């Protein structure tokens, strides 16, 4: 537990007094995604009584698994960014360091290129912005006319730092629309589910604006940042993303086990319906399933109303649910702007197809927006050795649909039709014939993607919402809608929020 500043009177309390004080505090965490699990663990490990309530039948949120004909794989988040080191540190704390794996070598491809079709995604760029527009793999995608237009960036005067926050507008003005539409847009759509015009340069590519002003061109700025990145990587080698042997649900299960070992309670099928605040405490009401053991039919038990009294509450749900639950307790939250949250669908396909041997288009494919109904594809059995071994000679493909302002093409389809569409898209993206007879089985997962931190204006929206929540004593909030998407952002943010709440309850 983080120590209180020395000038705080309560900092002189003996450890035994703090332990006794913590044992009297009850924290209710609403939401069992990764943010809720981290917050619950941070509170329970200092001795607080913790109850976590998850409305669905499983914890994990965007981290989930699927079983396809005996092959268990990730159906949601399959990896984490290594930046900051926070996720890896947590994995090590939980004793899972020996399960960390890096993706296999082999680059991604780009599909839907006008006049070209598909080509390997160029190397040596940042968010698709090339360091050298005449590089062969770049020129293959944007053509000679696009390369010469991009070269004008070298002779144009530099922009003022921060002059253009929009990544798309910056790239188009400096290097032309072909670079923006054919190289940058596929990356931002695949990574952020957003148009490059909506992506904030300073958040998505820190230092790029400053390097542009210093070096004098956007391509030169990319080269300068790449050199700096290479120097840092030489000092601290490692992949930009990592995963876990057996899937990311291993992390979720370890967090739950640790929370319960420390005395915390984790309940699924417990949907919180109301949260009220009195001068003395919080009351959390939930509609919960009872009398059902793990593995039983979830409809076999009975429903009951839970009324939990708590000293503190952590809201770790989606933004829509958080705003509904806090409508009365935090009226100021209604005055802040809500973010658009696209609904994403991932269809995972298990195939027996010799055409996929040798990974015909690397570990995955991104698409030029508007060229395909799918936004991206991951050849999971080519990307992850543990998936390849689990598949036993068969192939796992993940086909993603949906983006900001663009509903998933599978949204109105039933599962069978969605699998057929995903199979057709996979065949087109990979450039190989994949008949329906090759499909062993499929799994479909749907989730709401919170707005990435890199979207223009998202920082101001998040800070306004956070300020409204923090103004209410005994309340904290965590999750991707406040932290930004990705475990590398959600985990440290949830830790900070939990620490802020427990400090206020134990020392103030």
CA 195 distance to own-chain centroid: 17
Cα(202)–Cα(170) distance, integer angstroms = 11
Residue 476 to residue 39: CA distance in whole angstroms: 9
Q: In percent, how much of the chain has pLDDT > 70? A: 91
Identify each DSSP E strand in 216-342 by its residue range.
Answer: 241-244, 265-267, 270-277, 282-290, 302-310, 312-315
What is the structure's pLDDT at 230?
67
Q: Tell the residue number behind the tokens 């830790």, with chain if given.
A: 495
Same domain, 211 and 295: no
The enclosing H or E element of 208 equals helix 208-215
pLDDT tens-digit readout, 59-109: 999 999 999 999 999 999 999 999 889 999 999 999 999 999 999 988 899
Question: 419 lies in a domain?
Answer: yes
Burial-class residue 376 by CB neighbours within 10 Å (0-12, 13-18, 19+): buried
* Domain count along the chain: 3
pLDDT digits (tens, 9 = 90+) for 119-168: 999 988 999 999 999 999 999 999 999 999 999 999 887 655 445 689 99
**Residue after which a domain boundary falls, among 190, 213, 235:** 235
Q: How many CA atoms lie within 13 A of 139 on its CB side?
A: 10
* Cβ atoms of 367 and 374 closer than 8 Å: yes
Quickly tell me which residue has 């491809």 as its tokens: 109
pLDDT for res 460? 92
Same domain, 226 and 310: no
Q: Which residue, among 494, 396, 486, 411, has the nearest Cα to 449 in the 3D structure?
A: 486
Cβ-based neighbour number of residue 298 at 10 Å: 12
Closest by CA to 55, choosing from 340, 252, 315, is: 315
Joined tokens for residue 225: 């940042």
Q: Residue with structure tokens 């086909």? A: 399
CA distances from 133 to 220, 222, 229 (A): 11, 11, 20
User: What domain range includes position 278?
Assistant: 9-61+247-338+453-506
Locate tokens 């914890």: which residue? 59
Tell me the C-alpha distance between 481 and 456, whole Å.
Answer: 14
CATH number of the domain encompassing residue 273:
3.50.50.60
> Does residue 111 lie within any of the structural domains?
no
Q: Which CATH number do you get for residue 366?
A: 3.90.660.20
- The chain-wide mean pLDDT, for the chain, equals 90
Q: How far is CA 435 from CA 93, 223, 352, 391, 440, in A?
A: 46, 43, 10, 19, 11
Residue 12 pLDDT greater than 90, yes or no: no
Mean pLDDT of the region 25-50: 97
Q: Tell me if 112 is assigned to some domain.
A: no
| DSSP notation for 117-130 | EEEEPPSS-BTTB-
230 with 137, same domain: the answer is yes
pLDDT at position 14 is 61
For position 481, what pLDDT does the model report? 94
The last residue of a domain, from among 428, 448, 468: 448
Q: How far is CA 239 from the centre of its chain?
A: 17
Looking at residue 159, its pLDDT comes to 59
CATH of residue 213's domain is 1.10.3110.10
| Cα–Cα dist 508/505, whole Å | 6
User: Same structural domain for residues 347 and 331?
Assistant: no
Residues 303 and 328 in one domain: yes
Of the residues 202, 235, 268, the one at which a domain ends: 235
Sole residue written with tokens 């604006």: 209
């Amino acid at each position: 537990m983080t120590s209180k500043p020395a000038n705080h009177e309560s900092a002189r309390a003996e450890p035994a007094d703090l332990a006794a004080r913590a044992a009297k505090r009850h924290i209710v965490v609403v939401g069992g995604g990764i943010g809720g699990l981290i917050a619950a663990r941070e509170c329970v490990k200092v001795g607080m009584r913790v109850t976590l309530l998850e409305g669905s039948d499983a914890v994990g949120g965007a981290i989930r698994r699927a079983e396809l004909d005996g092959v268990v794989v990730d159906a949601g988040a399959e990896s984490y960014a290594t930046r900051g080191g926070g996720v890896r540190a947590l994995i090590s704390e939980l004793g899972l360091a020996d399960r960390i794996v890096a993706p296999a070598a082999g680059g991604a491809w780009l599909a839907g290129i006008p006049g070209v079709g598909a080509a390997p995604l160029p190397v040596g760029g940042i968010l698709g912005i090339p360091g050298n527009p005449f590089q062969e793999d770049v020129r293959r995608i944007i053509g000679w006319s696009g390369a010469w237009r991009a070269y004008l960036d070298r002779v144009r005067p530099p922009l003022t730092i921060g002059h253009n926050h929009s990544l798309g507008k910056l790239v188009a003005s400096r290097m032309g629309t072909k670079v923006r539409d054919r190289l940058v847009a596929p990356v931002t759509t695949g990574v952020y589910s957003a148009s490059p015009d909506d992506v904030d340069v300073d958040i998505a590519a820190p230092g790029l604006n400053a390097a542009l002003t210093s070096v004098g061109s956007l391509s030169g700025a990319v080269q300068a940042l790449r050199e700096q990145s290479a120097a840092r990587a030489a000092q601290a080698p490692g992949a930009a993303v990592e995963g876990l042997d057996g899937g990311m649900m291993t992390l979720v299960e370890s967090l739950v086990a640790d929370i319960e070992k420390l005395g915390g309670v984790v309940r699924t099928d417990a949907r919180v319906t109301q949260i009220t605040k009195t001068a003395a405490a919080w009351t959390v009401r939930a509609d919960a399933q009872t009398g059902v053991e793990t593995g039983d039919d979830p409809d076999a038990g009975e429903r009951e109303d839970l009324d939990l009294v708590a000293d503190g509450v952590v809201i770790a749900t989606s933004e829509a649910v958080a705003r509904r639950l806090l409508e009365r307790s935090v009226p100021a939250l209604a005055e802040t702007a809500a973010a658009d949250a696209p609904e994403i669908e991932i269809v995972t396909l298990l195939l027996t197809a010799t055409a996929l041997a040798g990974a015909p288009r690397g570990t995955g494919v991104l698409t030029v927006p508007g060229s395909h109904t799918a936004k991206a594809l991951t050849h999971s059995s080519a990307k992850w050795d543990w998936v390849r071994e689990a598949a036993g000679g068969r192939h796992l493909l993940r086909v993603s649909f949906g983006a900001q302002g663009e509903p998933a093409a599978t949204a109105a389809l039933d599962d069978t039709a969605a699998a057929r569409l995903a199979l057709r898209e996979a065949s087109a993206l990979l450039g190989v014939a994949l008949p329906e007879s090759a499909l062993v089985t499929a799994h479909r997962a749907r989730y709401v993607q919170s707005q990435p931190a890199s979207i223009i204006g998202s920082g101001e929206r998040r800070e306004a919402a956070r300020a409204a929540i923090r103004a209410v004593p005994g309340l904290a909030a965590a999750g991707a809608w406040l932290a930004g998407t990705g475990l590398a952002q959600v985990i440290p943010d949830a830790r900070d929020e939990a620490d802020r709440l427990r400090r206020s309850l134990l020392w103030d």
